Every structure is written in structure tokens, then in C-alpha cells.
């Protein structure tokens, strides 16, 4: 089964402020109209899914509306013509209105760093691994997965062919092997450890001719991060609104869960009440 990634420009781009000193304490989870953010004497346009550090100043124009979700899960709506300073607890308004909304569960810890340095920051790419098989594998490029819910996917090398799949830990020890004719392989629970790095390979088992080989790397989320992510997902499902689902996509992306982020954002963008900013985020 070939992988068909949904190319989502705004989630795939590096954060707009990778060198900010203050750690991110809020994310722009909804945006309509025009707004700016100022940090370290630099003012730029505010974008959907921007992560904001403490002391960032958000200014909104007429008819603008911004929803900030703090890492604690608290949500605040900033109205038009506002001048608001972001903090880790409650946004402080020097001008305009700030309305507290229904909270979500606390966000799992999302490392807001340069996208090229973050595990899972890049989508799985089509690369030739070996001399004959240009295969797309997922998880790849250090993508993050839940240790007890790992599903490996890869392109078929040819019709009606068998494969040997093997996962190795950081020490090169095989922790799971399987022979299959399927291109989707579910790893049994408890095979992998949370917070670890793994290397996996898939080899063809042809009746004739040389074997083909492809390989990739991934990481598993730490146990506490995985627990918080599950609680956050449940809160998003309970909320049920489009902006919350889009927020889940941004959090998944920040954690390096590329495929899950693509699916969540595509679902949010397909809803009839998706905002213009959200639809723009979904343009390939």
C-alpha cells in the first residue's frame, strides 16, 4: 500500500521564532482577521499555530479574533483592537478584551525548537535505500510513535512478494521480527520501550533474484508524554469543535507525529466551519 502524505505547508514549516529565549507557553489555536506579535523588539504577522513565549505582545486589528491556548490547557479569546501580553497563566490586556473559554486538558510537552533539529520534524521522504528499491517507509526520519501502538508501513516492492521486517534498538539488538506479505505491520504491545530510538529495516524475500532492502529510524514518546497526549486527545474529542481538532494536529506535529498530524488537520479542514486561516493551512 503506497503512502500518500497530505502536504500541509503550515505544519511542515519551521517555527517562525526558533531563537526566542522564552519557552513557549501558548499557541495560536484560532485566528480570524489580522494581528501581530512582538517579541524581543521584533514585530511580525501573527499566524495560526504560532507558538508564543511569555511576554510576547499580541495586537489585533479591527474585526480580528485570536484564541490562545496555554500549555496548561486554558483558552482565552482576544477581541478586536486589543493589546495583550502573553503569560503562562492569564493573558494581560493593556487594551481590548480577553475572554476565558472552556479549558482543555494540559498540552503534552511539545519541544518548540528548530524544525530541522527536532525528531520527527520532517515528513517521510522517498529515498533510494539500496540500489533497486525507492521505498517510502513510515515512521521515518525520526518520527515519534507511541511505544504500545506502533504500526509500520512501506511501499510494495512488487505484487505478491514476501518481506522480512526487523526492528533494532540503539544497541543493535533485534527487538521484533516478522515475515509477512502485507505492507502494514502492527508491532505487538510491550515490544518497544517508551522514550527510546529504533532502527527498522524491511527486506524482500523473493523466490528469485537479489533481495531488496529499505531502512528508517523512529523514536517512541516518553511514557509520561504519551499519557498526557492520550488525555489531551480525549479532551479534544469531548470538545468536538473544528479549532480544537486543528490544535490537536499542531500538537501532534510538534511531537513529531507526522502522519497523525496530517490526518487530524485534513479532517479539520474538511469541516464546513473551517476558518479561512485554517483552510490556508491546508493548502498543499
Q: What residues of the chain score a pLDDT lower than 50?
A: 1-21, 113-131
Pairwise CA distance, residues 70 & 104, whole Å: 9
Q: In the structure grid, which three cell numbers stand for residue 88, read together?
A: 503562562
The per-residue pLDDT for 112 is 57
C-beta separation of 275 from 32 below 8 A: yes
Interval 44-83: pLDDT, tens? 999 999 999 999 999 999 999 999 999 999 999 999 999 9
CA distance 202 to 95: 59
Q: How far apart are the first and last CA of the chain?
A: 22
**pTM to 2 decimals?**
0.81
Range list for CATH 2.60.40.10 in the chain: 1-15+115-270+278-284
Q: What is the largest CA-CA distance in the chain?
A: 74
Cβ distance 78 to 84 under 8 Å?
Answer: yes
Q: Are 194 and 176 in contact (CB under 8 A)?
A: no
Tell me which residue of 275, 238, 254 sits closest to 51, measured CA to CA.
254
Q: What fold is seen in the domain 1-15+115-270+278-284? A: Immunoglobulin-like (2.60.40)
For 176, half-sphere exposure in the C-beta direction (CA atoms, 13 angstrom radius) is 22
Amino acid at each position: 500500500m503506497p503512502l500518500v502524505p497530505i502536504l500541509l505547508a503550515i505544519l511542515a514549516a519551521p517555527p517562525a521564532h526558533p531563537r526566542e529565549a522564552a519557552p513557549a507557553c501558548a499557541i495560536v489555536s484560532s485566528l480570524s482577521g489580522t494581528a501581530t506579535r512582538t517579541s524581543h523588539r521584533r514585530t511580525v504577522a501573527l499566524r495560526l499555530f504560532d507558538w508564543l513565549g511569555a511576554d510576547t505582545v499580541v495586537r489585533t486589528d479591527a474585526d480580528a479574533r485570536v484564541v490562545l491556548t496555554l500549555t496548561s490547557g486554558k483558552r482565552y479569546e482576544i477581541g478586536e483592537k486589543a493589546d495583550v501580553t502573553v503569560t503562562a497563566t492569564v493573558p494581560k490586556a493593556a487594551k481590548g478584551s480577553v475572554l476565558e473559554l472552556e479549558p482543555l486538558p494540559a498540552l503534552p510537552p511539545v519541544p518548540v525548537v528548530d524544525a530541522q533539529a527536532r525528531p520527527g520534524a520532517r515528513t517521510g521522504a522517498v529515498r533510494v535505500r539500496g540500489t533497486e528499491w525507492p521505498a517510502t517507509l513510515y515512521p521515518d526520519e525520526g518520527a515519534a510513535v507511541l511505544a504500545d501502538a506502533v504500526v509500520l508501513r512501506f511501499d510494495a516492492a512488487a505484487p505478491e512478494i514476501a518481506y522480512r521486517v526487523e526492528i533494532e534498538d540503539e544497541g543493535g539488538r533485534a527487538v521484533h521480527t516478522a515475515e509477512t506479505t502485507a505492507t502494514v505491520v502492527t508491532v505487538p504491545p510491550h515490544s518497544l520501550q517508551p522514550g527510546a530510538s529504533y532502527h527498522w529495516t524491511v527486506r524482500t524475500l523473493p523466490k528469485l533474484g537479489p533481495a531488496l532492502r529499505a531502512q528508517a529510524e523512529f523514536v517512541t514518546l516518553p511514557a509520561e508524554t504519551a499519557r498526557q497526549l492520550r488525555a489531551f486527545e480525549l479532551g479534544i474529542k469531548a470538545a468536538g469543535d473544528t479549532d480544537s481538532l486543528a490544535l490537536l494536529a499542531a500538537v501532534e506535529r510538534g511531537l513529531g507525529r507526522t502522519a497523525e498530524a496530517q490526518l487530524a488537520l485534513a479532517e479539520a479542514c474538511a469541516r464546513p466551519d473551517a476558518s479561512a486561516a485554517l483552510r490556508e493551512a491546508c493548502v498543499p
